[in-house]
Chain A
Amino acid sequence: MAVSASDIRSALSLPSSSTLVQSTTPAPRKSQGQITKKPEGISRELYALIGPSAPSLVAHLAKPRLKQKPNFGSGGKVKWEWRPFRNAGRTDSLQLGHWVKAADDPGAEYPFTKYNVQSQSYTYSQEEYTRFLEDKDWTKDETDHLFNVVREYDTRWYVVHDRYEPPPDGPTRSLEDLKDRYYSVCRKLIRNRPWTGDEASKAQLLNSYQFDKDRERMRKDYIASLEDRTPEEIAEEEALFIELKRLEQNERKFKKERDELLRTLLGIDSGLPDIVAEEDGLSALSAEGFKKRKKNANEIEIPSTPSNIISLGPPPPKRAHSAKSAAYDAQHCILRVEPPASSTTKITHTPVHLRSFKLPAPKAALLPKVTQALTELGINPTRLVMPTRENCTRLESLIEATTALIDTKKVVDRVEQDIRVLRVRLGRASEGAEEDGKEGTPMEVDGGAGAGADVDADADADAEGEVDGRAQSILSTRSGRGRKQVRYSSQILSMPI
């Protein structure tokens, strides 16, 4: 079913191409014969549909380039034939047969002949032997035999040693003996024969025939002794080796720690090499370094005072906190701290620390009381679960508040005690007229002191200073404190009040 372009056009009620062409340009009319000359790779029907007006498509529809089919030989079938061949490596006329491609050249050399490589070996004449090669350990026959065996087995020394048969009356030869004899003969031959090349190549050749028998023997002995170790010896060696490793590691650790300590304590004075790196170190001493430092100071702001601190790199340049960086900081929870601007001397320098290490500790005298007060609240002041900045500040303020509270309470207690004492005295002064010489009842004092103790047991150490002589016996027995101390404090404090 052939559908021509004109059919489609008529079906779609388009003006026919010929009329279209005619109306627009007076181009030469395309004959029917031209249309049939379709480009390669496009079907006839499709071409008839789209017409010649799609050159871009044609490029696409060019015959797809599939993977090239493997080319087995020239034309599909390969003819093989059984052909006898001769091996050039052989000295006889043996003909073996093998299958080869019929197209192969029958006269070609057998491809495996090239692997028949003969190693070159030295031979010597009788004259050479008598002139250079005499050796009291070796007869000429034995040397000949050695050279034959070496040639036969292509200097595979283990095999040579295995197949070498010493003469019945001669000594047994070790592998080193054989090698030594062979190489020394070769060296002598090279040295004494006329040499056509240059000296360097001769020396190189001589070098390749070098053999140190004693060293080789020592090496072998060493290998043998290594293999002859008993399991106990091996275990001991291994244990020693591990111990050595451990000691080395310990020493390294110790040295590291010592350096660390020196660095912390002495800084640059310790003379440790890796401290010098910073410009405020040694370089400050030399004029050159000083200049350089000054120059640097212009570029990035560094502490201007020469100091011996071990800084962890140059201090970060102060930059204006732009809105952007502030937002960035807030987002990433970065809190910028102003560096201590006043001085960065060694004494005031604070190294990098954990925030939790710097928690404020209450005064030593107040510590137990503060701790107790906090424990009553259910807070453990020594350890923060989450020592964030806020938490640290809050703990700090809490401890401050507690200290303040304790101080206040102490003052309150003292004042109350004063009031009580004064009241007692006042009462006594007024009663003195009625009951002469009668002192305040111990019960009263006890009650007062006991009430105070109930309110704040910790305050009584301070309060008892104010207790007068008669009250002290009761207090001391009750609190179980050193009587001596109480007496001492009462002696000092009770006088002027």
Chain B
Amino acid sequence: MVNYGGDEVSALVLDIGSSSVRAGYAGDDIPKAIIPSFYGYKATTVDGDVQMGGNAPENFESTTKQTPSDAKLYLGQNGPSIWREGMEIGNPVRDALIFDFNPIPALISHALVDVMRVNPSEHPILVTEPAWNTPANRERMAEIMFEEFHVPAFYIANTGVLNAFAAGKGSALVIDVGHAMASITPVVDGFVLRKGLVSSALPKLVQAHARHILSNPTQTRRGIELLPHQLIANKLPVEPGAPPKFSLREDRLSGTTESWRVWCESREVEEWIQSVAGVLDQGWNDQAAASRPARQYEFPTGYNTYFGPERYQVGEQFFFHSPQLVAQNPNLPKNIPTLLSESLRACDPDLRQVLMGNVVLTGGGSLFPGFADRLEAELSRNFPHVKIHAPGNPIERRYGGWLGGSILASLGTFHQLWISREEWQEHGKPIVGQRCK
């Protein structure tokens, strides 16, 4: 028992991300509950200030509205994905930070009580936070846990550190490409070097680019209608490239809110990205892109076509931005090579070798085919000894932060770090900052 250092105290691990909330027992290798962070809500008292026009598709800032606290929430797998009349879609997380704490207790409760069927007051809980989390945010999280869920002990750990732990490393350069944010976190001896921490909303740019590719007409095809299957009554099979034959569910159109439609469209784009998009492993090259086989994809409308080089343009946005794109958008999210050099410049010269030898690639956004190869090619061009740890298992890649938390919270030596209920009551909020460095 002592040999491997594990001592399980049936702790829970909760990882709230931009696209999903992961919860499970410490010591497991897969979170038991994975529910979307998006939720549906219907304001019970419909007030007049509902303005939906702000969410233009080309705008990659997510919604900034806060959910009214008395709204009816629809959570989990059957929450946002089911069409309901007048249901809005919200997400409490923006730029990987929780900005709206109103639906958070409900989300946590859904994951722990409804899905995992546990009583949170019986288990110590470890929550994750991004490296750029604010002290106020983590204190608020501790407050929710202690005051609303009555947990016996609480700890909040950094996703960068946890991703390094999940890879079995104490010091690492963690490249985390998530749903909303791409970040590079230098971790030394289990501590984040805050000066070397960089992040950008790169995945949002990639999604916007994909949406642009799909919805704008090209020489060979018209713009694609990104309609979700919930709004389609029936459809007929058509030849690739032929206009789709389908009919809409007219009864639902009037009750569909703008936020739900935007959410559905972004889901369609994401589905397309996940099944079709890729990254060229040796930099952009028109010939190489053209030589790759085209892939067929069918949209819910029944429209289907083959996607050739354009599917690699999507992944290319991670690594290279064309000069005209940079010229058009002055505050374009920085691409990964830029982030890397920025992060390394902030680190001590002695550390650079260590970090480059322990690059950890994680996050669901890094699952583009060829992403790890491309990263390796980019890095080895500039640094002599690069070693990239990129788990081949998609579960480990997507839930690396949760996995590291699962490892950490099941270690015998960790149990003296928990913030107990007693300490919380005695010291109040400052204890979080003191304990969770």
Contact = CB atoms under 8 A, between A and B. Distances in A.
Interface string B409-424: 0001101101011110
Contact of A156 (B9, B191, B412, B426): B191
B341 to A, nearest CB: 11
Nearest to B191: A159
Contacts of A93: 420, 422
Interface in B395-437: 412-413, 415-416, 418, 420-423, 426, 437
Contacts of A96: 9, 124, 152-153, 415, 418
A112 B415 contact: yes
Interface string B1-41: 11001011110000000000000000000000000000000
Given A223-B349, A227-B352, A89 B416 contact: yes
B348 A98 contact: no
A98 B418 CA distance: 15
Interface in A433-460: none
Contact of A162 (B124, B152, B194): B194
Interface string A211-234: 000000000100110010000000
A195 B199 CA distance: 51
B420 A98 contact: no
Interface string A112-131: 11011000000000000000
B47 interface: no
A158 B188 contact: yes
A161 B348 contact: yes
Given A92-B423, A156-B189, A162-B193, A116 B416 contact: yes
Interface in A64-97: 87, 89-90, 92-97
A206 interface: no
A163 interface: yes
Given A162-B191, A162-B193, A94 B422 contact: yes
A63 to B, nearest CB: 35
Nearest to A225: B349
A159 B189 contact: yes
Interface residues of A, number: 30
Contacts of A110: 412
A152 interface: yes
A162 B185 CA distance: 13
B111 to A, nearest CB: 22
B203 to A, nearest CB: 27
Q: Which of B189, B350, B415 has the most CB of A within 10 A?
A: B415
A221 to B, nearest CB: 9
A111 interface: yes
A98 B8 contact: yes
A98 B410 CA distance: 11
A215 to B, nearest CB: 14
A192 to B, nearest CB: 32
Contact of A99 (B8, B152, B421): B8
Q: Which of A89, A98, A115, A162 has the most CB of B within 10 A?
A: A162
A94 B426 CA distance: 13
B2 A111 contact: yes
Q: Which of B1, B124, B152 has the most CB of A within 10 A?
A: B1
A159 B193 contact: yes
B423 A224 contact: no
A89 B10 CA distance: 19
A138 interface: no
Given A158-B351, A159-B189, A175-B348, A94 B195 contact: no
A162 B423 CA distance: 28
A158 B423 contact: no
A90 B420 CA distance: 10
Contact of A98 (B2, B7, B152, B188): B7
A90 B5 CA distance: 18
A64 B199 CA distance: 69
B169 to A, nearest CB: 15
Contacts of A87: 415-416
Q: Which of B7, B193, B196, B418 has the most CB of A within 10 A?
A: B7
A390 to B, nearest CB: 63
Interface residues of B, number: 35
A220 B153 contact: no
A153 interface: yes
Contacts of B5: 112
B320 to A, nearest CB: 19
Given A99-B8, A111-B2, A220-B350, A90 B416 contact: yes
Nearest to B344: A227
Contacts of B193: 158-159, 162
Interface in B99-142: 124
A94 B153 contact: yes
A92 B191 CA distance: 25
Contact of B191 (A89, A95, A97, A153): A153
Contacts of A97: 9-10
A115 B413 contact: yes
Contacts of B9: 96-98
A158 B195 CA distance: 11
Nearest to B1: A111
A94 B195 CA distance: 35
Contacts of B349: 220, 223-224, 227
Nearest to A95: B152
Contacts of B10: 97-98
B8 A94 contact: no
Q: Which of A96, A97, A98, A227 has the most CB of B within 10 A?
A: A96
A153 B195 CA distance: 16
A159 B2 CA distance: 29
A162 B346 CA distance: 10
Interface string A144-159: 0000000011001011
Contacts of B195: 162
Q: Which of B193, B348, B426, B437 has the most CB of A within 10 A?
A: B348
Given A94-B153, A96-B124, A158-B188, A111 B412 contact: yes
Nearest to B422: A92
Nearest to A111: B2
Nearest to B153: A94
Contacts of A115: 412-413
Given A156-B189, A158-B193, A162-B194, A92 B420 contact: yes
B360 to A, nearest CB: 18
A158 B1 contact: no
A89 B152 CA distance: 17
A159 B161 CA distance: 13
A116 B416 CA distance: 9
B33 to A, nearest CB: 22
Given A87-B416, A162-B195, A156 B188 contact: yes
A114 to B, nearest CB: 9
9 contacts: A93-B420, A94-B420, A96-B9, A96-B418, A112-B415, A113-B416, A115-B412, A116-B416, A163-B191
Given A92-B423, A98-B9, 14 more contacts: A94-B153, A95-B152, A96-B9, A96-B153, A99-B8, A111-B7, A111-B412, A112-B7, A115-B412, A115-B413, A116-B416, A153-B437, A223-B350, A227-B352
| A-B residue pairs, 5 tightest by C-beta | A94-B420, A112-B412, A89-B416, A96-B9, A223-B349
